[in-house]
Structure 1
Amino acid sequence: MTDDRPVIVGALRTPIGTAGRALASVDAASLAAPVLRALADELTTTLGDPMPADDVVLGNCMGPGGDVARVAALAAGLGHAVPGLTVDRQCGSGLAAVTVAAAQVQAGAGIVLAGGTESASTAPWRSWPPVDGGEPRRYERAPFAPAAEDDPDMGVAADLLAEEAGIDRARQDAYAARSHERAWQHRQTGGFAAEVVPVGGIEHDERVRAGMSAERLGRLRPAFRPEGTVTAGNSCGVNDGAAAVALLPGALHAQVGVPGLRVVAHASAGVDPRRPGIGIVPAADAALRRAGLTLDQVDVVELNEAFAGQVLACCDALGLGEERVCPQGGALALGHPWGASGAVLLVRLFSQLVREERGRTGLAAIAVGGGQGVAMVVERC
């Protein structure tokens, strides 16, 4: 009997750029378009026929508004008949977009391309309208929660979470240094090459660098609270990038017979908006429960590393050994292009489980501003 669950058969991303640098002139739709085009070309090779996608679903949280996914699909040359849907679940947007796409495929759609894109460099300036003849008031982000819920900035919230969870500065710096070292070593072996579509004249992630030791990170000052432990070194960067996957119905996948990742389960969850970073925990728990798995049965774990202290607090709450997270480096080293990062996690799982055959099952999970989490369990098939 054919398994009818959706299967990811392609997963690609752009290099992740540092805001204001190599990808500074490339807007969100233009970041996503080359990835969508490359996925469509891969599908043509796989299927032996240029079958059009039924939809393009992309996450984005800081772009120009409108429907970035539709603009990207048109820019990718997918044709006027291919629609687009843009999803905003803030930092979880890219992974949430794939859950939407998986539901579409499960409901009868054919091919759906899904992921996320973010250009912090070209994010428009936003302002509240004038009140009583005053001046427009510029803001950098929309509210994550009502004023009564406190709505702290992510860095402050992560610092407080680390303090409450007993995650000291040394442990955070050691974790961040390990992420950098893993990403650097993997890059030196050409390990990211198969998943990266060159954009804007760059082929490598800008943030990855050698020599980021715990001792070096330990010299940095607290970034958000004078007495805090979160620094620029044990936090992610502000980044530009896009990532996407191609999903097929299980029956079509069975016909073409290429390796892929079956979407086994996914979940979203809410937590106290004052501590959004812990949102990974209930989302991962729910996705694993729906998959009928425990963490011990998962071969590769990719958690979005927004802040070392935040990831470590989640690891402790999950009973997850921190050394198991992001085996080839995570967002602390690669960068965190907000609306794309959830999809980047799936690209990383695809590379490890399918391209490199490093196990069979994978978990991707990401925390979201406003107190949410999104998680997905996949298996190689």
Structure 2
Amino acid sequence: MTGALIVAARRTPIGTAGRSLAGVTAAELGGAVVRAVADDLGEVPAEVVLGNCMGPGGNVARVASLTAGLPVEVPALTVDRQCASGLAAIELGARLVSGGSGPVVAGGVESASTAPWRFWPPEAGGPPVRYERAPFAPASDDVDMGVAADLLAQERGVTRERQDAYAAESHARAVLAAARGEFDAEIVAVGGVAADERPRAGLTAERLARFRAAFREGGTVTIGNSCGVNDGAAAVGIVPAGSREGAAGRPGLRVLGAASAGVAPGRPGIGLVPAVKLALAEAGLAVGDLDVIEFNEAFAGQVLACYDALGIDPGRACAGGGALALGHPWGASGAVLVVRLFTQLVRQGRGRYGLAAIAAGGGQGTALVVEACR
């Protein structure tokens, strides 16, 4: 994997579903970051690979590529690994480049606001039945994500107090990072929106403690320590490390390892743990070697359980806030993590090694390990 170098990384602002980006389609969100990354690359990519979960179908990556104004000759592929789709797309793009492909633009996009309604066909002459999501697993194991996160927190001993404190810290970090301008270089304005919508100043653990359990009687997961439902897109530009860009010393992130793994579908939130172990093994690194860590914060209890399982101090991760504060645009979230790594390791020079990881519905996880080249 050392043959792939990420030399560009951009994302849209992240909006709350039905609000700031409600009128922007998945193809338009994706097109905005594909165009920006292609411009940063300074050349036409050989391929576009985008992750997506709930879009209209029809190969969203292809529609976004054409919306971006790329030549019709550039092929595009849409990847669905549910919440891990954006990071899986980057993993695939890195492997394509390492295998001899030309430059690849890879990432993810999600517009929960414009996602089409979906229906099961009628049975025995009855009406069609609308459903909110496709199955993640066979019916016997298809646990709702919120319930699964609550059960995981209980089983792993993650208390409500820890969850609320972590969620409050995520918002505080995101608000501070925005105030310092740390997101400015990575954000591509779209639909007249240039800033993330969700982070809240002054959100304390004490305020979050007032929320009731959202998914299970007596549970610890609430709407306050869970991510939102969001719109957004993110993408990176990947070039061969031996290309003229790499040879000229262009700064970037060398991909050292990447992996996806599966776990029991009833506890999908822990899925990133085996993926992290595999990716670190491929990279030849340990948790202690990492300078920057970005985990997707779908639920505070879920991500804290993952930190505990891997022996990671939560204070070392998501320095600019995570999905609890910024939002979780499903198919894009894994790519957002890599954009955040790029900003911290390349734009800000905060260290050498970085890790991005995300869990996905159905019991899967994806992880990526990178090294800053400056």
Contact 1:26 1:200 in 2 (8 A): yes
Cα 1:315/1:4, change in 2 over 3 Å = closer
Q: Say yes or no: does 1:178 pair with 2:169.
A: yes
Following superposition of structure 1 onto structure 2, how do residues 194-213 of structure 1 map, counting pairs within 5 Å?
194-213=185-204
Aligned with residue 309 of structure 1, among 296, 301, 304: 301
Q: Does residue 10 in structure 1 map to residue 8 in structure 2?
A: yes
Q: Which of 324, 341, 347 pairs up with 1:349? A: 341
Shift of 1:263: 0.5
Q: Equivalent residue for 1:192?
A: 183
TM-superposed CA distance for 1:292, in Å, is 0.7
Q: CA RMSD in A?
A: 0.9
Q: Distance in 2 between matches of 1:254 and 1:128?
A: 50
Task: After superposition, give the CA deviation of every residue in 1:252-272 in whole Å (9 maximum; x if it has no partner).
Answer: 133332100001000000001
What is the match of residue 100 of structure 2?
108
Rounded to whole Å, the distance in 2 between the matches of 1:151 and 1:4 is 37
Counterparts of 1:66 and 1:23, CA distance in 2: 21
One-letter amino acid of the counterpart of residue 184, structure 2: A
Do 2:5 and 2:246's aligned partners in 1 also have CA atoms closer than 8 Å? no
Alignment-mate amino acid for residue 5 of structure 2: V
Q: Which amino acid aligns with 1:189?
A: R
- 1:67 matched to 2:67: no
The residue identity in structure 1 corresponding to 2:208 is L
Aligned runs of 1:47-62 on 2, under 5 Å? 51-62=43-54
1:370-381 matches, within 5 Å, as 370-381=362-373
Q: Please say if residues 288 and 294 of structure 1, whose CA atoms lie closer than 8 Å, have aligned partners that are also in contact.
A: yes
Aligned length: 372
SS of the residue corresponding to residue 367 of structure 2 reads strand
- Quote the residue 2:239 is aligned against: 248
- Say yes or no: does 1:285 pair with 2:283: no
Q: Which residue of 2 aligns with 1:238?
A: 229
1:4 CA displacement: 5.7
Distance in 2, Cα, partners of 1:199 & 1:52: 22
Measure, in 2, the Cα distance between the counterparts of 1:67 and 1:337. 18
* Alpha-carbon distance between aligned partners in 2 of 1:317 and 1:40, rounded to the nearest angstrom: 38
Corresponding position of 1:131: 123
AA partner of residue 7 (structure 2): V
C-alpha separation between the residues in 1 aligned to 2:347 and 2:199?
A: 22
Offset at 1:7?
A: 0.2
Partner residue, 1:330: 322
Output the CA distance in 2 between the equivalents of 1:187 and 1:254: 31
The separation in 1 between residues aligned to 2:66 and 2:248, in whole angstroms, is: 27
Partner of 1:38: 36
Question: Secondary structure of the residue that 2:167 maps to in structure 1?
Answer: helix
Note if 1:85 corresponds to 2:77. yes
C-alpha distance in structure 1 between counterparts of 2:117 and 2:2, whole Å: 44
1:48-75 residue CA offsets vs partner (Å, 9 max, x unmatched): xxx3210000000100011000000000
Q: Which of these residues, 246, 255, 258, is aligned with residue 263 of structure 1?
A: 255
Contact 1:4–1:251 (8 Å) recurs in 2:
no
Contact 2:86 2:332 in 1 (8 A): yes
Cα offsets for 1:203-260 (capped at 9, x unmatched): 1100012001101111111110121000011000000000000000011133332100
Which residue in the other structure is 1:224 paired with? 215
- Percent of aligned pairs with the same amino acid: 66
In structure 2, distance between residues paired with 1:214 and 1:58:
36
Aligned to 2:312: 320
> Contact 1:17–1:23 (CA<8 Å) still a contact in 2?
yes
- What is the aligned partner in structure 2 of residue 158 from structure 1? 149
Instruction: State how far apart, in whole Å, the 2-side matches of 1:353 and 1:29 are.
Output: 29
CA distance in 2, matches of 1:39, 1:319: 35
Q: Decide whether aligned partners of structure 1 residues 143 and 259 sit closer, same or farther in structure 2, where only a CA change above 3 A counts.
A: same
1:14–1:196 Cα contact (<8 Å) kept: yes
Tell me, what secondary structure is at the counterpart of 1:82? Answer: coil
| Alignment partners' CA distance in 1, 2:246 and 2:296 | 31
Unaligned runs of 5+ in 2: none
Decide whether the 8 Å contact of 2:16 with 2:231 is kept in 1. yes
| Residue matched to 1:98 | 90
The alpha carbon displacement at 1:85 in A equals 0.2
Deviation at 1:177, TM superposition (A): 0.5
Greater shift after overlay, 103-112 or 153-162? Answer: 103-112
Do 2:2 and 2:255's aligned partners in 1 also have CA atoms closer than 8 Å?
no
Cα pair 1:4 1:249 within 8 Å, conserved? no
Among 135, 145, 169, the residue aligned to 1:143: 135
Deviations 1:154-189, CA, capped at 9 Å, x for gaps = 100000000001111111000000110000011111
